Amino acid sequence: MNGTCEPSYYPTNKQNNQKYNIITLMPVVLYNQFKFFYNFFFLIIGLSQFIPALKVGLMFTYIAPLIFVLTITIVKEQFDDV
């Protein structure tokens, strides 16, 4: 040896702190969101609008706010993870 160490003897300094991978992003984020009462409540109300006897108004008024909140949350989580 000539006094220098080869880089292969040392571990890399790479840190991996990602919470999700491409498969687990949607299920984990949706599970974490539906743990909250209000998100779960709006999901149940939105799903109840598919039953004609329970239908009160336009489907859009029940589903759109939930989809909007979930989309923003998923995009934010993906952005934070990358």
What is residue 32's predicted lDDT score, i.e. its pLDDT? 93
The whole-model pTM stands at: 0.72
What residue spans define the domains of the chain? 36-82
Tokens of 19: 């919470």
Show Cβ contacts of residue 73 under 8 Å, excluding neighbours closer than 6 positions: 29, 33
Residue appearing with tokens 């080869």: 6
- Which amino acid would we find at residue 63? I
Query: How is residue 82 annotated by DSSP?
Result: -
- Contact between residue 20 and residue 28 where contact means Cβ atoms under 8 Å apart: yes
Going residue by residue through the chain (82 aa), what tens digit of pLDDT does each one get? 555 656 667 777 888 778 888 899 999 999 999 999 999 999 999 999 999 998 888 888 889 999 999 999 999 999 988 8
Residue appearing with tokens 């702190």: 17
Which value, to the nearest 10 degrees, does the dihedral of the CA atoms of residues 49, 30, 34, 36 take? -140
